[in-house]
Amino acid sequence: MSIADSSPRSALAVADWRRTSRHLVTRLRQRRLPLLAVLVTMAGAGAFGLVTPRLLGSVVDLVAHGGDTAEVLSRVGWMAAAAIAAAVCAGLGIATAASVFESVLAALREDMIEKVLGLPIARVEEVGSGDVLSRATDDVDKVGEAIGKALPSVLMSGAGVVVTVIGLAALDWRFLLVVVAILPIYLTTGRTYLRLAPPVYAQERVAAADRAHHVLGPVQGLPTVRAFDLGARLSVRIDANSWAVVARSMEAAVLRSRLFGRLNLAELIGMSVILAVGFVLVGDGSLTVGATTAAMLFFLAMFEPIGRLMYVLDDLQSGAAALGRIVGVLDETTPTSADATSDDDGSGLVAERIEFGYTAGHPILDDVSVTIRPQEHVALVGVSGAGKSTLAAVLAGIHPPTAGTVRLGGVEVATMRDAARAHRIALLTQEVHVFTGTLRDDLLLGDPDADDERVWQALEKSGAADWVRTLDDGLGTVVGAHGHEIDSMTQQQLALARIDLLDADLVIVDEATADAGSAGAGRLEEAAATVLAGRSALIIAHRLSQAAAADRILHLDSGRVVESGSHDELVAAGGGYSEIWAAWMRGRDEL
Domain ranges of the chain: 17-330, 349-590
Q: How far apart are CA 570 and CA 554, in angstroms?
A: 10
The domain 349-590 is placed in CATH, from the list 3.40.50.300, 3.30.930.10, 1.10.730.10, 2.40.110.10, at: 3.40.50.300
CATH of domain 17-330: 1.20.1560.10
Q: How far apart are CA 554 and CA 572, in angstroms?
A: 15
Q: What pLDDT is attached to residue 7?
A: 39
Q: How far apart are CA 472 and CA 52, in angstroms?
A: 68
> 560-565 and 411-412 as β-strands: parallel, antiparallel, unpaired?
unpaired
Sheet of strand 425-428: strand arrangement: 425-428, 506-510, 536-540, 377-381, 552-557, 560-565
Residue ranges in the chain whose pLDDT is less than 70: 1-11, 61, 64-67, 122, 125, 128-130, 148, 198, 303, 307, 310-311, 313-314, 333-343, 511-521, 587-591
Q: What pLDDT is attached to residue 497?
A: 92
Q: What pLDDT is attached to residue 340?
A: 46
The phi, psi pair for 245, rounded to 5°, reads -65, -40
Amino acid making up residue 164? T
pLDDT digits (tens, 9 = 90+) for 406-415: 999 888 887 7
CB distance 363 to 537 below 8 Å: no
Return the SS3 of 484.
strand
